[in-house]
Chains A and B, each alone.
Chain A
């Protein structure tokens, strides 16, 4: 951890639960343990050993997988001799005709662009911290955006959508999985793991200018 307490007076930092405003003095629990709000149960601090390195590795994996998952064929459909294969990119462009265009943009953002942007922002913030360097310019803005975009990253929901879509056309056509399907499934696992390792409080503390004078 980069947090080498240079401040001579160990004054405990006061924090408040974002969900219920309960006030606490922050005491970092041991790695793997979690400090939760006593009133509403919100997880406040959850440090993990080597969390920065793991999150970085997962973010890089995610970007590579997303690249493959977006452009390789995702699903292939066959009906009496005719065939068509589709990539995630095609699915995002499904609404590109006329009035549906904004929907295409939204779908592309929700399933590809926002997850990739979040991974990129997290890398920008964490790589210097993991190397024990000062954070890059604008790192706080970058991490704030990574957090803000979180509810809008919907790759995992897309995967359930695929399952539903397959059942819907099962009596109309034969469907084969392409390589991108498995990449996308792996991607969802990676995103879930990444969010599990990411302790917001630890990162904000590491980014704190006062703490690292």
Chain B
């Protein structure tokens, strides 16, 4: 890769880059002639979409924690467990590792993601402590980790299809399964609507 000493962006040169195939075109062109993707230099408008998806994602996360995720019925008892309740139950059985996976995937990651996306979106409008580099790392991490929250939904799907033993034992999904899945999907949409190029537009750190 050849480049001039200070980083020059496509926009500085009056060009617009295709984020799908990396090719650049003259500013003003609307579609990439190579891959057909729409061309926008900075998706500033999509910031509204980021907030909207984030907001519905957060709303869905509330019932996901209140209502049961799983309904377990055995000969002797019926048990309804929420996300957190299920994790605590597993911890009581001594499987701390698995309990930690559930807590991380279903509580730490979603909440961390709400905060991180909100912070990144706000940071585009005002001066913040974190450098562009640090914020970009945060964005990459959020984008990478978000999908893993789906673990608990898949666990419910596996258990509900597997444990169907007439009267002896059965497991069925609770309403939280659907609201939790929606929350994960909406927050993923929010992260995907975010344009990371805007993080770099006013680089306050000239070093690095």
Q: A residues engaging B (CB < 8 A)?
A: 13-27, 35-36, 38-40, 44, 75, 77, 79-80, 82-86, 90-95, 99-100, 102-103, 106-107, 110-111, 140-141, 143-144, 147, 151-152, 154, 157-158, 160-165, 167-169, 171-173, 175, 200-201, 204, 207-210
- Distance (whole angstroms) from the CB of A121 to the closest CB of chain B: 13
A102/B178 in contact, CB under 8 A: yes
Measured in the bound complex, the distance between the Cα atoms of B150 and A151 in whole Å is 12
In the A-B complex, list the 3 residue pairs whose CB atoms are closest, starting with the nearest: A161-B154, A16-B17, A16-B10
A168/B155 in contact, CB under 8 A: yes
B-side contacts of A40, CB under 8 Å: 133, 136, 200
Contact of A107 among B18, B154, B169 (CB under 8 A): B154
B169/A17 in contact, CB under 8 A: no
Contact of B20 among A35, A39, A110, A144 (CB under 8 A): A144
Q: B residues engaging A (CB < 8 A)?
A: 1-3, 7-13, 15, 17-24, 33-37, 41, 72, 74, 86, 90, 93, 95, 98, 101-102, 133, 136, 140, 143, 147-148, 150-166, 168-169, 171, 173, 175, 177-178, 181, 185, 188, 192, 196-197, 199-200
Of B13, B34, B133, which is in contact with the most chain A CB atoms at under 10 Å from its CB? B34
B-side contacts of A164, CB under 8 Å: 98, 101-102, 151-152, 155
Measured in the bound complex, the distance between the Cα atoms of B21 and A154 in whole Å is 23
Closest to A92 in B: B157
Task: Give chain A's interface secondary structure class.
Answer: mixed
Measured in the bound complex, the distance between the Cα atoms of B45 and A103 in whole Å is 30
Contact A79 B165, CB 8 Å, known A21-B200, A38-B1, A38-B7: yes
A173/B169 in contact, CB under 8 A: yes
Of A93, A152, A168, A175, which is in contact with the most chain B CB atoms at under 10 Å from its CB? A168
A-side contacts of B185, CB under 8 Å: 106
Measured in the bound complex, the distance between the Cα atoms of B82 and A207 in whole Å is 49
Contact of B165 among A14, A18, A36, A84 (CB under 8 A): A84
- Distance (whole angstroms) from the CB of A174 to the closest CB of chain B: 12
| Besides the known contacts A16-B24, A86-B162, A90-B162, 9 further A-B residue pairs in the complex with CB atoms under 8 A apart | A14-B23, A22-B9, A39-B200, A82-B165, A94-B157, A107-B157, A165-B154, A173-B165, A209-B34
A-side contacts of B34, CB under 8 Å: 140, 204, 207-210
B177/A165 in contact, CB under 8 A: no
Measured in the bound complex, the distance between the Cα atoms of B160 and A169 in whole Å is 11
Contact A160 B136, CB 8 Å, known A38-B3, A84-B162, A204-B35: no
A23/B151 in contact, CB under 8 A: no
Of B1, B23, B151, which is in contact with the most chain A CB atoms at under 10 Å from its CB? B1
B101/A77 in contact, CB under 8 A: no
Measured in the bound complex, the distance between the Cα atoms of B1 and A132 in whole Å is 27
- Distance (whole angstroms) from the CB of B169 to the closest CB of chain A: 5
Contact A20 B200, CB 8 Å, known A144-B37, A200-B21: yes
Measured in the bound complex, the distance between the Cα atoms of B139 and A63 in whole Å is 32
Query: Please, could you name 18 A-B residue pairs with CB atoms under 8 Å apart, sorted by A?
Result: A15-B17, A15-B23, A20-B136, A38-B1, A75-B162, A90-B162, A106-B181, A107-B153, A107-B181, A140-B34, A157-B147, A161-B158, A163-B98, A167-B98, A172-B74, A175-B162, A207-B35, A208-B34
Contact A103 B177, CB 8 Å, known A40-B133, A40-B136: yes
Measured in the bound complex, the distance between the Cα atoms of B164 and A173 in whole Å is 11
B-side contacts of A38, CB under 8 Å: 1, 3, 7
Closest to A107 in B: B157
A35/B24 in contact, CB under 8 A: no
Contact A201 B10, CB 8 Å, known A24-B3, A100-B173: no
